[in-house]
Amino acid sequence: MKYTVDSDIYSVYPDLYTGIAVLSGVNNSASPPEVVALLAEAEARLRAGGGPRPASEHPHVAAWRAAYSTFGVKPSKYRSAVEALARRVLKGGDLPHINKLVDLGNCLSVKYVLPIAAYDLDRVTGDIVIKFATGDEEFVPLGTTEVEHPEPGEVVYTDSDGKEALSRRWNWRQSDKAKAVEGTERVLLTVEGVNRIPRETVERATKELIELLQQFCGGKAQYFLLHKEEQEAEFEV
């Protein structure tokens, strides 16, 4: 199985770094108190960190806003996944508890202020490619059954030879198809940085994510870091 960032993406975003964690044989279930506590701690640190208010002024959020604007999306209307999380936390809200994979991803997303997404590989068809949309791809939003089509030029994750979109507007919203659920056993998680977000930050967040996932979910893990000189990861699960 492969995960590929299309070369056209790097033409526009040459400093994109994507940390990838691939795990097989995981035990994903409801989060135990220890995971709930880690998420609460990350939320409290973000609120107490003396960082920018509102969330849009955080350097990482601002970097993603600039990336969204580049492909024609109003970032104040369609917020990146990490901005949506940070905004909720900084306004005093607690993030919902979904399952161990999702909650640990959210924990590290809040800690590092980076977008993190999880994809159930048993629900993915073929290879995953991140590319600019043609507009013909089919997308079913999380929690719905309604089919949408991305706008041409949107950044999307795709499978099924590019026919199905696993996300819209880059990391704004994931599809229902490949969501990580209780019982997910094979999973791919992405940690993304763009527009001068340091490579080292993406690396550190991804490696810490793998450590936590193996601690609480078990399984065998593989780590990759993609960038303009290394645009593809190939793995067995």
Domain ranges of the chain: 2-234
Per-residue pLDDT tens over the stretch 47-101: 998 666 789 999 999 999 999 999 999 999 999 999 999 999 999 999 999 999 9
Per-residue pLDDT tens over the stretch 184-202: 999 999 999 999 999 999 9
Beta pairing class for 155-159 and 167-168: unpaired
The residue-averaged pLDDT of 123-139 equals 97
SS3 107: helix
- To 5 degrees, how large is the angle CA 125–CA 123–CA 22? 90
Which residue, chain included where needed, has tokens 């969501």?
Answer: 179
CATH number of 2-234: 3.50.40.10
The residue-averaged pLDDT of 16-36 equals 98
Q: Is pLDDT of 1 > 90?
A: yes
* 134 backbone dihedrals φ, ψ, rounded to 5°: -90, -20
Cβ atoms of residues 120 and 128 within 8 Å: no
Quote the CA–CA distance of 229 and 213 in Å, as a whole number: 28
Quote the CA–CA distance of 133 and 124 in Å, as a whole number: 18
Cβ atoms of residues 150 and 143 within 8 Å: no
- To 5 degrees, how large is the angle CA 174–CA 177–CA 180? 75
| Average pLDDT over all residues of the chain | 96
Q: Is pLDDT of 9 > 70?
A: yes
pTM: 0.95
Quote the CA–CA distance of 185 and 160 in Å, as a whole number: 20
For the beta sheet containing 116-120, the strands, ordered from the edge strand earlier in sequence to the opposite edge, are: 116-120, 186-193, 17-24, 220-226
Percent of the chain with pLDDT over 70: 99
Nearest alpha carbon to residue 19 among 214, 210, 213, 218:
210
